[in-house]
Amino acid sequence: MKKARFVITEKFSHSPAEVDVTPVMNLFCILIPFLLLTAVFAQTVVIDITLPKEGVGQPAQLQQESLPDMLKFVMINISENKIQIATNKRIYPPIPIKDWENDVGLSKFERHLQDIVAEYPKQKDVVLISPDKTTYATLIRLMDICIATGLGNISLSGPQRGESVSQSPPNKP
C-alpha cells in the first residue's frame, strides 16, 4: 500500500487587497449635508443682570410703600358688549361697544387711560383681558391707544371662568 501524498504546489499569493471606498464616500457625501441641515444650533443669549449686594436695599414691602405713583394693576376687560378699565384703586364706568363705531368710545377710553397715566406717571403695565371671540382689529386698536398714552408694557390674558372686572370690587389701599 502506497500512501497518498498530497502536495500543494501552489503557494498562496500575497497580492495587495483592493478596498472599494466609493460606496462609503457616496454615503458620506449624502449624510454630512443632511446632518448639517437638520442640526439645531444652540443660540447663546446674553442677559445682563445686576444683582444687589447682600444687605443693601429695602424689603419689598417698604419699596412698594415708597412708590405711591405706581398701581398694582391696570386691567382692561373686554366683554361682548362693553369695555371696562379697572385698577386696584378704581373701576371706571364701562364703555359700550356700540360707541366704538362713532369714535365716542375711543375718546372715552383714551381719556380714562390718560387720567391713569397723569395720576401715576411711572405706571407702564396694563393687562388686556379678552374673550376668545374678540377680533384681532379690536385688540390692535386697544393696544395702539395704550401705547400712545404711555402704557406700553401690555400683557394679554383670557377671562377667568365666571369672573369679570365689573363683578370684583377694587382693593382698598
Question: Per residue in 134-159, pLDDT tens?
Answer: 888 888 888 889 999 988 888 888 87
Q: Tell which residue, 173, 170, 125, 119, has the closest CA to residue 151.
A: 125
Portion of the chain with pLDDT greater than 90, in percent: 10
Cell of 135: 377680533
Question: Degrees (nearest 5) of the Cα angle 172, 83, 73?
Answer: 35
Lowest mean pLDDT among 8-17, 23-32, 105-114, 126-135: 8-17
Portion of the chain with pLDDT greater than 70, in percent: 67
More confident residue, 114 or 46: 114
Question: Degrees (nearest 5) of the Cα angle 92, 100, 71?
Answer: 30
More confident residue, 4 or 137: 137
Cβ-contact 159, 131 below 8 angstroms: yes
More confident residue, 138 or 167: 138
CATH 3.30.420.60 applies to domain 71-160: yes
Q: For the CA atoms of the chain, what is the radius of gyration?
A: 37
pLDDT at 169 over 50: no
Q: What is the pLDDT of residue 62?
A: 47
Q: How does residue 61 score in pLDDT terms, banded at 50, 70 and 90?
A: low
In whole numbers, what is the pLDDT of the chain averaged over residues?
Answer: 76
pLDDT at 2 over 50: yes
Question: What is the side-by-side strand order in the sheet with 74-78?
Answer: 95-96, 82-87, 74-78, 125-129, 153-157
Cβ-contact 165, 129 below 8 angstroms: yes
Q: Domain residue spans in the chain? A: 71-160
Q: How does residue 30 score in pLDDT terms, banded at 50, 70 and 90?
A: very high
